[in-house]
Amino acid sequence: MATGAVEKKARLKRSAFVVGFLAPATLVYSLFVLWPLLQTFQLGFYRWKGLSKKRTYIGLENFQSLASDENYRGALTNNLALLVFGGLTLVFLGVGIAHALADKSRIAKVTRALYLFPHVASAVVAAIIWSFLVNPSFGLIAKGGKSMGLPIPVDGILATAPWAKATVFAAFVWHALGFFVMLFSAGIESLDREIIEASELDGSSGMNRFWNITWPMLWPLKRVAAVYAVSNVMNLFVIVFVLTQGGPDGATESLLRYLWQKNYDGVFGYVAAMGAVNLVIALLLAGVALLAVGPNPERGRKTGSALTGGAA
């Protein structure tokens, strides 16, 4: 009994210690994150112009209007397309480059730093750089495309939907790729060298070793990469704002830029409903991305090893 009482007292002390340290952070997070989110959801049920405290309760009208908003659906489609193609490109290109640079040579370190540079620079800088590259008068991409005989529009690359979408895609991947390269580089460097060496002794090498050994062992980082890709796409604003303003004819519109535009129409209840729906969509997409990554391949192996050890 005395031992149990001592253990119980120790657990209470540990719990009090944890609660004492978490309470301030939890309070700040609740005040500045959770409470504003709840207010945003609540405001979505009102008509409010933002110029006075007067608000009119309209129920689900804002959400119903959002469901029939063609511009919003177009922006959502663009975001989803960018998530599928851009997200997969970032993950697979990032891990491929990280695998190719998986050594401690000075050249590999410098190359990884070069890939990280665009991500360190702000999205505004990245968008401005790409606006210069595709400028119809002096842009390197525009002039190079014309010299190669590509059907570059007379009014510039951003004047037609396919070229504008391709430019936004390229700028987005170029800006975000460095993070994924560094993420997977750190993961590859931290892998258990004994397992890698054992696979080499078994004759595994090249792509065979990568797909059967390295790729499954990067499971925790694949989850991080999947969620980060969703976050990057759902927060896409600056690149679209600087490069295309959502044009031509809404072909490159993003959810956040459209929300920003509607904010100036004075329909704050509608904007709040849009923000609430965007949050729900982002959470659902993050869940889908985690499901797409799949379960931890190490779990079954560890369980099997434990059962075998116990039987032995």
Query: Rounded to an integer, what distance in angstroms lies between the CA atom of residue 18 and that of residue 260?
Result: 40
Q: Of the ranges 15-24, 34-43, 279-288, which is most confident?
A: 279-288
Position 244 pLDDT exceeds 70: yes
Residue 37: partners with Cβ closer than 8 Å, 6 or more residues away: 279
Q: Of the ranges 124-138, 144-158, 161-175, which is most confident?
A: 161-175
pLDDT for the residue numbered 134: 87
User: Token pair of 109, please?
Assistant: 């370190």
User: Token pair of 168, please?
Assistant: 């936004």
Confidence of residue 309 (pLDDT cuts 50, 70, 90): very low
Query: Rounded to an integer, what distance in angstroms lies between the CA atom of residue 182 and that of residue 119?
Result: 10
Largest CA distance in the chain: 87
Strand partners, 276: none
DSSP, collapsed to helix, strand or coil, labels residue 57 as strand
Question: How many other C-beta atoms lie within 10 A of the C-beta of residue 92?
Answer: 12
Query: Rounded to an integer, what distance in angstroms lies between the CA atom of residue 238 and that of residue 245?
Result: 9
Question: What is the Cα Rg of the chain in Å?
Answer: 25
Residue 164: partners with Cβ closer than 8 Å, 6 or more residues away: 157, 158, 243, 244, 247, 248, 251, 252
Left if phi > 0, otherwise alpha if psi is -120 to 50, otherwise beta: which for 85? alpha
Query: Rounded to an integer, what distance in angstroms lies between the CA atom of residue 100 and that of residue 40?
Result: 46
Query: Rounded to an integer, what distance in angstroms lies between the CA atom of residue 174 and that of residue 176?
Result: 6
Query: Rounded to an integer, what distance in angstroms lies between the CA atom of residue 109 and that of residue 92?
Result: 20
Q: Which helix (H) or strand (E) holds 201?
A: helix 193-201
Q: Using alpha carbons, list the distances in angstroms from residue 216 to 92, 120, 180, 230, 306.
A: 13, 29, 17, 21, 20
pLDDT digits (tens, 9 = 90+) for 54-97: 888 998 999 999 999 999 999 999 999 999 999 999 998 988 88
DSSP state of 157: G
Per the CB < 8 A criterion, the answer to whether 274 and 259 are in contact is: yes
- Which residue, 228, 252, 251, is CA-closest to 241? 252
| Topology of the domain comprising 83-294 | MetI-like fold (1.10.3720)
Question: Degrees (nearest 5) of the Cα angle 82, 69, 165?
Answer: 25
pLDDT for the residue numbered 277: 95
* Average pLDDT along the chain: 84
User: Token pair of 97, please?
Assistant: 């480059």
Confidence of residue 300 (pLDDT cuts 50, 70, 90): low
